[in-house]
Structures are given as structure tokens and as C-alpha cells.
Amino acid sequence: MEIDKVYEPQRFEPHWAEWWVEHNTYHAEAHPGEPYFSLAIPPPNVTGSLHMGHMFEHSIIDAQVRWRRMKRTPEGKSVDTLWLPGTDHAGIATQIMVERQLAEEGLSKRDLRRDAFEARAWKWKEQNGGRIVEQMKRAGVSCDWSRERFTLDPGLSRAVREAFVRLYEKGLIYQGDYMVNWCPRCQTALSDLEVEHEESEGSLWHIRYPVVGSDESIVVATTRPETMLGDTGVAINPLDPRAARLHPRNVKLPLTNREIPIVLDEMADLAFGSGAVKITPAHDSNDFEAGKRHELPSIQVIGEDAKMTAASGKFAGLDRYEARKRIVSELKELGYLEKIEPYKLNVGKCHRCKTVVEPLVSKQWWMKMKPLAAPAIAAVEDGRITFVPANWSKTYFEWMYNIRDWCISRQLWWGHRIPAWHCGDCKTVTVARETPTQCSKCGSAKLTQETDVLDTWFSSGLWPFSTLGWPDDTADLRAFYPTTLLVTGFDIIFFWAARMIMLGMEMMGDVPFRQIHIHGLVRDAERQKMSKTKGNVVDPLVVNDKYGTDAVRFGLLVAAAPGNDIALSEEVIARGRNFANKIWNASRLLFSKDPGAGSRTSLADRWINSRLNAAVKTANESFKDHRYHEAADAVWTFFWDEFCDWYLELKKSDTDWGFAYQVHERALLLLHPLMPFITEELWHRRGHETSIALEPYPEYDPALEDAAAEREMRAFVLILTSVRQRRVEQKIDKKHELIIYVRATGEWFDVIQDNASAIMRLENLKLEIENGSPTGRLTKLSGRNSNQVIWGCLFEGQEICKLGFEIPEITRPTNDRKDRVKKDIEQLEKVIANSKRQLENESFVAKAPAHVIDGMRVKLAEYEAQLAKNRVALAE
RNA sequence: GGGCCCGUAGCUCAGUUGGUUAGAGCGCCUGCUUGACACGCAGGAGGUCACAGAUUCGAGUUCUGUCGGGCCCACCA
């Protein structure tokens, strides 16, 4: 078997990425009623390019999916395993990209008709939308590409209409004029979630409103003085001492000719500012409600373009911030400005374009959330859906209990157009699955479709079942719903996960997934968020190529404790690369050997088999619990520290490598979910022709636990470590053969005898073994200079053998060594004292479990033996 | 204002139901071109687990408080 001298993932990763797709390796068959595992990908935006966040999420998902695909039922049957891929049309995000492209041609959206714009957007999608999919394929994610979906596919559009109509017919979707978050740049309403609040340094302007027919005036405080032009009332608290004399009166609104009433309302906090609040029903949601309570008119002074409207009089046409400056200066000139205080306030910004949103009243479509939330809350409360880590359910509940209606309409051109038709005659709205030809009320044919589209998250909310063919009763739907698992970031729990649960419960009558794994964020080495503007992004396309995809995956996963953020640097990735390199080179060594018969098994063989079994156990348990860092760590320790550093080294003096091949093969299977490329490559180099991804995953077998082998091996590790320490301390080069005298009782004598050659070769030793009682001095040492000898008690503190060295060039123990021995002695004395105190404590002996007490006794004996050895060493 | 999380070796972090000298990677020190790998091998240094109490035979792990840091939600002008 040939294998390249250097690990160069670039030479085989693209090949396997293509091969897997061509061979449909990850195609899932739908067998309704049979055991299955299914997971719908969090669909990346079509606008996107693969970033580290995707890479991390996909590494987690892929590890889980590959593991599940390899698992067999207790009867040995494979499980239908589906990872369904797809992309999201990403309403605003995509529209912005297309607008940008148009702008480069000197065009704006309005220059095109809606149809033309949509066509343009589709063209853009065809040209650019496949990019992220190609990148995912190159990264080797094990999706079933035959089931790839896009949220604007005809099938998914049908699901959107079906869901919309059902909700509308149940009265859960309605149209109405309410205060919404309006983005003046995107020219659309936004949901509450699409507004990011950011604290900023602002001011609190105190403005004096003269009371009509009185010398008195009321001072109101505002953070947005430009809205005063739209004031239609002033509220004071009913308990305000001024209430009696001011209540049924008016104030004169400065800079205008309007008089507006003073009303009593508890919204005015006596303790805040001046105790009086201006009411601007058109530009603040609190005021909107207050306006309704007091039947105040609403005057819109800021338009959808964030410029002052005609209603603002001479300020009309000014940008809202320019208007603010002018209004403040005029108020100041006219003496209406009482004072200005610095003030911290939260400014809402559009999460797509960062423009400050304007609260405006407008007619929008809404979804009633309370009735939908109840079953979704229950599903998590009673455990039909569980969060990993469990703490996230609190965040979920917090939001769900306080949920507010969802503004689902967007004034965009890219998205699912709302299936509602307005009658030109009777103005009735007809909501229908199929495009109607006549008004449902008056029968008129003068119908025009609603121009708004749906929030992109509406279609995402249907994703776990719309992708499986819903509303049709398909085999896929019956075979794979509810999906098994959702893996996603905490940032879209509300946007997406919660809405999928609500819509899944409503449309399917069942949860959309049984588990939600919430992963952390990939940050840079300084724990800063990665962003293009900061220039601190680690681009997966670059590092996948430089270090190999396996390396990036492994680096990410070994650092990924559940829910925790990852501080990513190239060192983390290099760690993965180093591991892959190690696997590669270990395989090179192995493949240079004749497999042989594999019939005979040495102690090393039995030991590594037992260790592999332990690693298999940990890996399986860790994957089950989504503890990928633990799985990665277990396979790392097994492969590097045990398989390479001990097993292969010992094996070098063996002629029969058959067993090593068997262990190596199982190790590849064990590693595959974490490092799919290198394991596939090595699997084929071993002569297999089908994908390793479809092989059964190793299972833990209690019968393979070999306590005797592990105990015996520990003994050799102790001997060798002891020798190595001695060599370094006394600067005895490995070229010098050391003579080791060992006396052991019956069974240990045989063990040491049988394995002597391997140890001798490894450390250039000559072992002289004596069979006999462990006490007393070795006869072979009688009469020798004690300076040449150290004594040690080995084997888990049992005095099974004593050990002596003969050092060819006489050297006395160095001071360094003496210091260390002294330190060891001190430490041991402390630990021994502690253990003794514990064991003499009656409460401890009475209350602690037996294994803890026994364990401590064994340890104590071991400590004492070590102490004795150290004392002898010091006396040398 | 409400909620969540974190503070363990120089750095980045593990440490599941409390239990036997607290671990890893990187970095550091000392050796080593040992016939797979210097992306390596061997040996080593380094931690009063933020602080103060409490519970317990026993606390990095549970509880309370303090200090420090981060995140999310919220219509206090």
C-alpha cells in the first residue's frame, strides 16, 4: 500500500467531496414507520458565502448526522438518516444585494416594474445563490442533495399559501393599522425582532408649553423634539398637584398655531423629568395607545422617507435630524426651551441596514401569537422538545410568555406575496389558496393582489415540514417528521426556532423537532465577534484550503463545549491539522508493514484493544449527548497518546501487524464523524471501494474490557517512565544500554518475561529478571555499590517487584534530582496525612460509599510505597 | 427594569449526578535529525479553582452574599 510522504489534504479532499455527491452517498430512503434520524439544515441565506459560523454549525451537524448514519439498531439494521439541505430567500438581505447591483448600473428599484425587479432577483439568485451550496459540498457536509430546497420553490410557496389561509380562516392572521417599526431606507415595516436596540448618548430636551388662558406653562421632556409638531395632547398624572387646576384646559403648541388638550394619564411619571409627557400618537407606540385612550387625533409629521411631511408646516421636506436642529434652535430663540440634559437612550436600528427605524402607524398584516404560543410552550414544558444545554428553555419561556403579535407583512418585492386579493368594487379582501377570479363577497372580477410580501421568517417557520412535501401527505413527511434534531445559534431562537415550534404544532399537530441544540458563536482569538469591518474574520474557504477541512472541523469541535463560544485562531486549526498529520503518518508506518496473519495477540494488542473499546464508549456517549469536544478529546487521546505513542512504538519489535491493522480500521471508523475526508481516503487506501460513511460505527462491548492487560501495561509504563526520567536526569544517552534487574513473583514473572523484548528494544535496556519473593534484595545485586541502584515499588502500589538499575557510567544523583525527590516527599507526606485523617474519621467511614473508601485505601498504600522509594532514592 | 452566562496553569478553555495528588491544547524550560511524523519524540516547570460565608465526613462542583466581565429581552418620555 502506497501512501504519500506528506499529508496534503488538498490532494484528496476535493475528490471525495465530489465523489460523495456523484455517488449519492448521503441519500436517505423514506420508509414510513421505520427508525429514522432527520434534521433540516438552518437554511443559509442565498446571498451568503460560507463563513466560520456556518462551518462550525455544519461541523456539529455533520458529526452528529454521520454518527447517526453509521449507528445500527440493536437488530443490526441501518437507520434512515436524512440531513435535508437548502437555502433561504432572505427577503430584505437579497433585495438589498439586487438593489446594489442595480445601483451600479445607475438604476433604482423604482426604475423597474415589480415584475422586472423580481425577474432580476431570480436571475441574481441563479447566478449567485449556488455559491454557498457549492462551498458546503466542498466542505463535505453529508446532506442529501437530491432533496435540496429553496424557500421560494413552488412547493414551498404552496405550503406558505396553505399556512397563511389556514391561519387567516382561524382568525389568527388579521390586517390592521398599528404602530410599526418602519425602516426608511428599506421602505418596509419590520417586526420587533428585526430592530436592534443600541444605547447611545442623546439629550433630553425640556420644552415649555404655555397653558392657554394662564400665565402657567407645562414643561415636557422629550428625546425627539422634532416629533413635537405632531403632538396632540399633554399628559399629567391624575395625582399631580396641578391636575385640578390644569385638567380641562389646553396648551398652546409652540411653533404651531395649534392648541392641544391636557389629559390625565398615569403614563406620566411624577418622578420623571418634569412630570408631564407630550403625546405624539403618530410617532411613538406608547403615545399611540394614549392617543386612543383619550381620543386624540394623530398627526403624522415624519414620512416613510424619514423626511418631515406637509403637516409639519415650514419644516416640510427636511430630514428628521435636520428638522430637529432647526426646531430646537427656534424653540431656544423663542424662549420655549427650558433646558437640555445629556441622556442615554436606546435607539432602534434596522438589523439589515442599521438605519434608525421610525415608529409609524401603518396598515399591516399581523399574526396573533398568544393562541399559537400556548401549545408551543406546553411542548417544551412537558419535554416533547428538549433544549441542549437545558438552560436555553428559560430564555425560550421568557419570550414565549411575553409574546406579542407578529407583523408579517413587508413592503418588499422579493418574497412570498401575500395570498390576499382586494376587490376594486366592494373593497372586501379575499384570501385564497388559488388565485381567485372573483371577489368572495360581491363577485366582482376587479381583483388586485396584495402587494406586500411575507416576512422571510414566515416561510422559514414552515421549513421542517414544507421541505418534506407538506401540505401533501408524502412518504417523506410520514417517514421523517417530526425531525429528530435542530442545531442552531441562540441568535435565532425567537426568529426561527420558536416560530417553527408554533407553526409545527399548528399545522402538523406535532413538534417540528425533538431536540434543539444551541451552539455558541465563533469569535476571534481575542473573543471579539468576527466581522468584515473589523477585519478579524477567519475565512473557512482560505483555511479549509490551507489546513484541510478535517483540520478546521476538528479544531472547532475539540474546542466546542456545549453552548460555549469558540475563540478561534489559526493555532486552533493547526491543532486539528497536526492531528490529521499524525493520523496520516501513523497510517504510513502501518501500511509499510505486512498485515500478516493477525492471529497472535501480544500484551500490547490486548491493551490497545481495551483502550479502543474505552474510547468507543466515550465517543458514543458524547455524540449522544452532543458533547463533541469530549468525543474529539477521546479520539485524540486514544489515537495519539495510546495508539501512536505506546502501541505503535511497542509494535515495532513485533513481526505480526495483523492486529494493528484491525485496530487501525476500527479507529478510522471511530474518527470518521469528526474527520470525514482523511478517514475516507485511508479507508480506500486500505482497499475498500465503498464509502466508510456507510459502515457501522464501533460499539462498546463490555467483553472487550481487559483489566488484566491494562494493569500489566501500566506496569511497563511505570518501568519505562522510570527509566526515561533517570536517563534525562543523569544525562545518560539512549545509546547506552541500561541493565535493569527485576524480581517478580510467579504471574508477574511470566508477564515481564513474555514482553521483555519489546521494552528492551524501546528504551535500549537489558532486563534481568529474577523469579521469587518480592521482599529482600535482589540476589543479582548482592555486593554491588548501592549508588548504582535505585529501588522502586511498582504495580499500583502492590509490592510485586522491586526494580534496580545498573548505570554504566557511575554518576551520583544530581542536586536537581535530590531537590525534586525532596519535593515529592513533602507532597506525598501531605497527601498521606490527609488520606489517613479521612480514613480515621468515623463519619467518613460510616457515610462514604465503599468504593470511595476502598479506593482511598489502595491509593494510600501506593503513596506510602512511593514515599518509601523516594526515601531510598534520597539516601543514595 | 427583568432574565441568562462566565471568572480554574502565562494564553484559550475542559472538568455530567459533590468523592481518590485538578486536566488538555498552545506557550515556556531541558534533551533528541530514534529507521511514520520537528505539523515530531522523551522529560519537566507552572494552579491557595475571583473573594467571603454556609451546607457536608468530604466542595472547583451545592446554597447565600460581594467584586469583576459578557449576553439577551423590555413601549419609562
What pLDDT, on the 0 to 100 scale, is given for residue A620?
96
3-class DSSP string for A282-351: CCCHHHHHHHHHCCCCCCCCECCCCEECHHHHHHCCCEHHHHHHHHHHHHHHCCCEEEEEEEEEEEEEEC
Residue A791 has pLDDT above 70, yes or no: no
**Rounded CA separation A38/A513 (Å):** 9
How long is the CA A847 to C1' B64 vector, in angstroms?
26
Question: Which protein residue's Cα is closest to nucleotide B39 at C1'?
Answer: A578
Selected residue with higher pLDDT from A862 and A790: A862
**Rounded CA separation A151/A367 (Å):** 20
How long is the CA A567 to C1' B49 vector, in angstroms?
21
Percent of chain A at pLDDT > 90 equals 60
Number of DSSP helices (H) and strands (E) in chain A, helices first: 28, 28
pLDDT level of residue A784 (50, 70, 90 thresholds): very low
Residue A44 has pLDDT above 60, yes or no: yes
Question: Which protein residue's Cα is closest to nucleotide B35 at C1'?
Answer: A652
Q: Which nucleotide is at minimal CA–C1' distance from A220? A: B77
C-alpha angle A609-A615-A618 in degrees, rounded to nearest 5: 145
Q: Distances from the Cα of A210 to the Cαs of A263, A264, A347, A436, A536, in angstroms?
A: 15, 17, 30, 57, 55
Question: Which protein residue's Cα is closest to nucleotide B13 at C1'?
Answer: A559
What pLDDT, on the 0 to 100 scale, is given for residue A806?
56
Percent of chain A at pLDDT > 70 equals 93
What pLDDT, on the 0 to 100 scale, is given for residue A814?
58
Q: What mean pLDDT do residues A226-237 have?
A: 93
Question: Which protein residue's Cα is closest to nucleotide B18 at C1'?
Answer: A848
How long is the CA A525 to C1' B11 vector, in angstroms?
10
How long is the CA A525 to C1' B23 vector, in angstroms?
22
Q: Tell me the residue type at A626.
A: H
What pLDDT, on the 0 to 100 scale, is given for residue A800?
39
Q: Distances from the Cα of A313 to the Cαs of A261, A281, A288, A305, A317, in angstroms?
A: 20, 18, 22, 17, 9
Following DSSP, what letter does each residue of A372-383 receive, concatenated?
HHHHHHHHHHTT
How long is the CA A537 to C1' B45 vector, in angstroms?
35
In the numeric block, which cell numbers belong to residue A849? 460509599
Strand B: positions under 7 A of a protein C-beta atom: 2-5, 12-15, 19-21, 24-26, 30-31, 34-37, 39-45, 56-58, 71-77
Of A453, A473, A459, the closest CA to residue A503 belongs to A459
Residues A313, A256 contacting (CB under 8 angstroms): yes
Question: Which protein residue's Cα is closest to nucleotide B40 at C1'?
Answer: A582
Q: Which nucleotide is at minimal CA–C1' distance from A578? A: B39
Residues A390, A223 contacting (CB under 8 angstroms): no
Q: Which nucleotide is at minimal CA–C1' distance from A289? A: B75
**Rounded CA separation A304/A567 (Å):** 42
How long is the CA A575 to C1' B38 vector, in angstroms?
15
In the numeric block, which cell numbers belong to residue A367? 399574526
What residues contact residue A638 under an 8 Å CB cut-off, 6+ apart? A611, A612, A614, A615, A667, A670
How long is the CA A4 to C1' B40 vector, in angstroms?
17
Residue A570 has pLDDT above 60, yes or no: yes
Q: Which nucleotide is at minimal CA–C1' distance from A727? A: B43
- Scan for cell 458533547, then name that residue: A627
What pLDDT, on the 0 to 100 scale, is given for residue A827?
83
Q: Which nucleotide is at minimal CA–C1' distance from A280? A: B77
Question: Which protein residue's Cα is closest to nucleotide B2 at C1'?
Answer: A398
Buried-exposed string A632-648: b where 16+ CB fall within 10 A, e elsewhere: bbbbbebbeebbbebbb
pLDDT level of residue A876 (50, 70, 90 thresholds): low
Buried-exposed string A242-256: b where 16+ CB fall within 10 A, e elsewhere: eeeebeebbbbbbbb
What pLDDT, on the 0 to 100 scale, is given for residue A536?
82
How long is the CA A490 to C1' B72 vector, in angstroms?
9
What pLDDT, on the 0 to 100 scale, is given for residue A816?
64
Sign of the dihedral through C-alpha A196, A197, A202, A205: positive
User: How much is the mean pLDDT over chain A?
Assistant: 88
Q: What mean pLDDT do residues A194-223 have?
A: 90
What pLDDT, on the 0 to 100 scale, is given for residue A439?
92
| A856 backbone dihedrals φ, ψ, rounded to 5° | -65, -35
ipTM over 0.90: yes
Q: Which nucleotide is at minimal CA–C1' distance from A286? A: B75
Of A233, A236, A231, the closest CA to residue A283 belongs to A231
pLDDT level of residue A740 (50, 70, 90 thresholds): confident
**Rounded CA separation A752/A747 (Å):** 9
Q: Which nucleotide is at minimal CA–C1' distance from A857? A: B20
| A745 backbone dihedrals φ, ψ, rounded to 5° | -80, 170
Of A746, A763, A872, A757, the closest CA to residue A818 belongs to A872
pLDDT tens track for A491-532? 899 999 999 999 999 999 999 999 999 999 888 877 778 877
Question: Which protein residue's Cα is closest to nucleotide B72 at C1'?
Answer: A395
The enclosing H or E element of A803 equals strand A801-806
CB atoms within 10 A of CB A753: 14
Question: Which protein residue's Cα is closest to nucleotide B12 at C1'?
Answer: A567
Burial class (CB in 10 A: 0-12, 13-18, 19+), A870: buried
How long is the CA A823 to C1' B44 vector, in angstroms?
14
Cα A116 versus chain centre, distance: 39
Q: Which nucleotide is at minimal CA–C1' distance from A636? A: B24
What pLDDT, on the 0 to 100 scale, is given for residue A1?
64
How long is the CA A246 to C1' B69 vector, in angstroms?
50
pLDDT level of residue A799 (50, 70, 90 thresholds): very low
pLDDT tens track for A69-101? 999 999 999 999 999 999 999 888 888 888 888
pLDDT level of residue A797 (50, 70, 90 thresholds): very low
**Rounded CA separation A853/A857 (Å):** 6
Residue A786 has pLDDT above 60, yes or no: no
For residues A588, A591, A593 and A596, what is the CA-based torsion angle, rounded to 10 degrees?
150
What pLDDT, on the 0 to 100 scale, is given for residue A785?
44
For residues A663, A665, A666 and A667, what is the CA-based torsion angle, rounded to 10 degrees?
80
What pLDDT, on the 0 to 100 scale, is given for residue A755?
81
pLDDT tens track for A339-380? 998 888 888 999 888 899 999 999 999 999 999 999 999 999
pLDDT tens track for A105-164? 888 888 888 999 999 999 888 888 888 999 999 999 999 999 999 999 999 999 999 999
How long is the CA A355 to C1' B8 vector, in angstroms?
43
What pLDDT, on the 0 to 100 scale, is given for residue A745?
67
How long is the CA A572 to C1' B11 vector, in angstroms?
12
Q: What mean pLDDT do residues A675-683 have?
A: 97
